[in-house]
Amino acid sequence: MNRIYLDNAATTPLDKRVVAEMVHVMENYYGNPSSIHAQGREVRTLLEKARKTVAGLLNAVPAEIFFTSGGTEADNMAIRCGIAAFGIKHAITSKIEHHAVEHTMDQLLKDGVIDQLSYVNIDAKGNIDYAHLEELLKDNPRSFVSLMHANNELGTLTDVERVGEICEKYNAIFHSDTVQTMGHYKHDVRKLKAHFIVCAGHKLHGPKGVGFIYINHTIKINPLIYGGAQERNMRGGTENIYGIVGLAKALELAYAEMEEHQNYVQDLKTYMKDKLTAEVPGISFNGETEPANSLYTVLSVCFPEMDMSDMLLFNLDINGISASGGSACSSGSNIGSHVLTAIGADPNRPSVRFSFSKNNTKEEINYVVEKVKQIVEQNIAV
């Protein structure tokens, strides 16, 4: 039996065309892009071509794109360096942000870098309260706002253009964790009034260990990582050329094929949602599920209360199904999901996040629903 991979929000398999591009660079280009000799200049050309590709897709300029080791570093750079650059003492976020944001904010408060950390209200589906955000901004001095585009566990989308307009009204610095949506939706940074957005290559069929941060040209921050003069003195360390080339190729492919993949994957998600609803009693869904308000790659399923509910993911795994009990960053942790806790989910009902990609099929969904039905029937609490 071939395994069925439905954990694409955690990471995606590499596109073969990305692999081919990376292998070509690995085999033919080995110079250090900071070197002035011929081999170095060749690699510098590849680096700047990748930067230009990424910038062009985002309607940015190349000088606004800085390559990092991934989304976590990019989030840390935006938050830590953005707050430091403007001497900001008040930050606003939500209770359902990724740990890269949540833990960074908590540490800044603990260290006294910020004096106040406010949380914008959210509803039971993970939607933020825009009116409350505006209240928090107008009742405080200049603030730093960090709100994600799509929640990685629920799939609920935030109207980041609206958030950007609210932040602009109150002269706030706005950072959005766009890791889950980069390559899945078009980001036009000239329309999105954000000072920072971020990317992790492995979320869009690119390589792990590489990402980027977009920094709006109107602001200036200091580096998070000091060292050499790489990335125009903004990020020390020899650039991961193979990864950067692979990331640029993956993003280029994602934009070129976006509409096709959106339609295909959304159809898979809707198919699974409808099939689970029809065949598995007691099933419900966390977060928004309507296409206009929900990330089309994520379906968070809330199961009925069951015996041995803590074995649910294990039972799926032994049946050849890879999924996640919330954010992949919490795998192996017994603390539970901070996101599900924040939206008031029933702690006695286990949840599984199924997340899809262009590689999945309806035949796979049929098999998964059949196995889910069997597991629920065998373990349902009486």
Nearest to 339 by CA among 357, 356, 326, 322: 326
Outline which parts of the chain fall under CATH 3.90.1150.10.
4-12+257-379
In angstroms, what CA-CA distances link 87 with 120, 143, 233?
21, 10, 21
Is 141's pLDDT higher than 90?
A: no
- Residue 7 above 80 pLDDT? yes
Query: How much is the pLDDT for 235?
Result: 98
Looking at the structure, give the CATH architecture of the domain made up of residues 16-256. Answer: 3-Layer(aba) Sandwich (3.40)
The Cα–Cα gap between 169 and 55 comes to: 26
pLDDT single digits (tens) 322-365: 999 853 334 444 578 999 999 998 888 899 999 999 999 999 99
pLDDT at 236 over 80: yes
What topology is assigned to 4-12+257-379 in CATH? Answer: Aspartate Aminotransferase, domain 1 (3.90.1150)
What is the reported pLDDT for 97? 98
- Indicate whether 210 pLDDT > 80: yes
CATH 3.40.640.10 spans which residues of the chain? Answer: 16-256
pLDDT (0 to 100) of residue 202: 98
Q: Which residue is it, tokens 């959210």?
A: 122
Higher pLDDT, 310 or 348: 348
Q: Give start and end residues of each alpha helix (H) in the chain.
A: 16-28, 38-58, 71-76, 82-86, 99-110, 130-138, 160-169, 230-233, 241-256, 258-279, 312-318, 338-342, 362-379
- Looking at residue 194, what is its pLDDT? 98
Most confident of 92-96, 312-316, 373-377: 92-96
Q: Residue 336 has what pLDDT? A: 81
- What is the secondary structure of 3-37 as a DSSP string? -EE-BTTT--PPPHHHHHHHHHHHHH----TT--S
CA distance 90 to 82: 12
- Do 206 and 14 touch, CB atoms closer than 8 A? yes
Task: Specify whether the CB–CB gap between 360 and 6 falls below 8 A.
Answer: yes
Examine the residue annotation and report whether 302 is marked as an active-site residue of this protein. no
Q: For position 1, what pLDDT does the model report?
A: 62
What pLDDT digit, counting tens, does each position of 62-76 carry? 999 999 999 999 999
Query: Per the residue annotation, which of 81, 167, 199, 329 is the catalytic one?
Result: 329
Residue 310 confidence class, pLDDT cut points 50, 70, 90 = confident
User: Which of 153, 164, 218, 221 is closest to 188 using CA atoms?
Assistant: 164
239: tokens are 């650039």
